[in-house]
Amino acid sequence: MRILWIAMGWAVANFAMASSFTSYGPIYARHKQSLEQGGGCISGSIGTTLPGKHAQTIVYFATEANADSNFKLAHFAYAMDKKNDIADGQLRANVFRMCLKPGKYQLFGVSVTGTVSTERVRVPFVVEPGRETYLGSFVFHNTSSNRGRCSNAASWLYVEVKDESVRDLPLIMNREKSMGTAPAVEVVDTSAGAPYFVTCMD
C-alpha cells in the first residue's frame, strides 16, 4: 500500500473520544441533505482487526465530479476505544448512517491514524432521493495480524468489504429511530478498488 503523511487535520479532528464518525465535507462543498429535503441515505459498518487502542480508520468518498479533489471530500470512520457496536474476537466495529445529496459518488481512498493512501481508486455507489441504502461492512486488516484471511488482497493493509446486513441493520435501525423502512442492501462493487478495497474470495 502506497501511503503518505499529509495534512488533513480537519478530518481527523472530528474524532474526539467516540467510536464512529462521519464528515460531510467542508462548508463550501457540503454533501449533506436530509431525506425530508430530497436526499438519500447510506449506511453500513466500519471497523478493524488492527491491534492497539488508538488507531483511527477512515474511508474517504466524494461525488463522481469531485473524486480527484483533495478538499471536496467526505468520510465515514472508526476510532478504537471501548464503545463498540460489534466486538467479535479481533474485530471491533461500529455502524454508521449518512444522508447525502442525490447523485453518483465514489469511494477513493483510506487512512489509518493520519497516514493517507496516495493511489486513487474508483469504487462507485449511487445515492437516490428518498432511499436508504446499505453499502456493506468495511473492515481494515493487515496481513501480519490476519495472514491468509484474504488471499486475493493486493496490499499489506486492506479493507475487506462484505455483506453483514443481517448483523448490521438491526443495530442501524435501533440507533436511527426515525428510519421508516430497512435500507436496500446494495454492497459496493470492489472490482475497481484495488489495492485498498477487497471482496475476499476465501
* Rounded Cα distance, 158 and 137, in Å: 13
Q: Could you read off the pLDDT of 150-171 as tens digits, one per residue?
A: 877 777 789 999 999 999 999 9
Residue 59 confidence (pLDDT) above 60: yes
* Rounded Cα distance, 193 and 97, in Å: 21
Angle at 70 between CA 25 and CA 118, to 5 degrees: 125
Beta bridge partners of 115: 5, 112
* Rounded Cα distance, 96 and 147, in Å: 28
Residue 13 confidence (pLDDT) above 80: no
